[in-house]
Amino acid sequence: MTNYLPPTRELRVRFDTAQALTRLFYREQAVVLSCGGFTPHAPLLEHRSELARTAWESALAAEALRERVFELRYPTRFLAEQAEELAADSPDDLRRLINELRDDYAAYLEAADELADGPSIRIAEAALRDKERQQDALAAVELTDDDPARDPRYFASSFYWPDVLDPTYPYGEGVALQLRSAVSHLNEVWAVDTAGRILHDLSPELGWEFTRDAARWLYDESRHMLMGAERLARWGFEPGQIPLGGYIYEACAGQHALYRLGMLGYFETKNIGRKRERAQAFHDMGDATSEIDMEFDWADETLHAEYGRRWLRRLLEARGEDPESWPAVLERCEQLVRERVAQATPQDLERIRTCADALVAAAGYPSRPANV
Ligand SMILES: [Fe+2]
Ligand SMILES: [Fe+2]
């Protein structure tokens, strides 16, 4: 009988590793979809943004896990089917899913061998850090049945600036432009809610790559929303002075998610051409925060315009329609928005005009510095 040298390290075999990572992938994917579905139901903007960030972080982890599984299964790019339903149906359920993932990443790292499986270790370490952060960030998240939920601290008005209803109301210069821009950023809450909805509703149909893009989309829109909220807060305004609403989101009530995708892909990037010019105007005013926010926003929107084009075509294709028929979808989107605007009453216009005028007037007080 021949004698051989014995094994020297405790190692998990390659296909078991791929299987463990596959299970982690599906649970991260469930976190992403759950966060998307919950987003429009979280009244507090900071809870919406924590859900958005968690969706994005989990999508990054899932993407890395998926690629790693493909490496381990080389030459096949193969991901085993998932047998169980994993989506969370409440915030408690989501927190439980995140706790389990944290424990499983910790256990994975405990057992993993650096020499054999270093790339997976790197992924699991980053994901473990994210899970620990998410546990704290999501601890207080609560939802309502309203869709979209309203943040009760802000001045509720579906139409968040008078010019939406009255084209003669000036977009404004100077302080008025600074405020209009910050209020627009804050009111990208409609884009946050829309991105959450399409992420949740269209992912089963469009597959992982859409999920990944939509999670980034959701996170970006939540950052744009917070940019506005934070500039306004630092200028010293109270939320109750600031209009917040989502007429574009509301315009899609009862519509297929196709139209929500159309709204997000095109309406939200519509002003892309003005952003350079606005950034320059803020530069000239010495308002570096508004300027830099605008520039980063512009970079994100360029990406989003591409997401919109790609996924609208793919969705039409998946539904057996001509992918080049997307202009008809956008026309319908514009019509839906016109119909929502047509529902506004003279009182709605009066309310938002009073609110906006008061905001601009308040900014004129010497006690409020123009830039902090
Ligand atoms: Fe945006
Ligand atoms: Fe966008």
Higher-pLDDT residue of 273, 307: 307
Ligand nearest to the CA of 217: 2
Q: What percentage of the chain exceeds 90 in pLDDT? A: 88
* Beta-carbon-side half-sphere exposure of residue 187 (alpha carbons within 13 Å): 24
With cut-offs at 50, 70 and 90, classify the pLDDT of residue 43: very high
pLDDT digits (tens, 9 = 90+) for 55-90: 999 999 999 999 999 999 999 888 988 878 889 999
CA–centroid distance, residue 243 to ligand 2 (Å): 20
In contact, 317 and 205? CB cutoff 8 Å: no
Provide the mean pLDDT of the chain: 94
Q: How far is the CA of 237 from the centre of ligand 1 (A)?
A: 22
* C-alpha 181 to ligand 2 mean position (Å): 15
Mean per-residue pLDDT, 275-294 = 94
Give, for 67, the enclosing helix (H) or strand (E). helix 45-72
pLDDT tens for each residue of 207-248:
999 999 999 999 999 999 999 999 999 999 999 999 999 999
The ligand whose atoms approach the alpha carbon of 195 most closely is 2
Q: For residue 188, report the distance from its CA to the centre of ligand 1, in Å.
A: 6
Q: How far apart are the first and last CA of the chain?
A: 82
Tens digit of pLDDT for each residue in 339-350? Answer: 999 999 999 999
Q: Residue 319 Cα, ligand 2 centroid: separation in angstroms?
A: 24
Q: Which amino acid does the sequence have at 104?
A: D
Distance 168 CA to ligand 1 centre (A): 25
Alpha helices in 235-271 (DSSP H): 247-250, 257-262
Quick one: pLDDT band at residue 191, thresholds 50, 70, 90? very high
Which ligand places an atom closest to the C-alpha of 267?
2
Distance of CA 227 from the midpoint of ligand 2 (Å): 13
Distance 217 CA to ligand 2 centre (A): 7
pTM of the model: 0.95
17 CA → ligand 2 middle, Å: 37
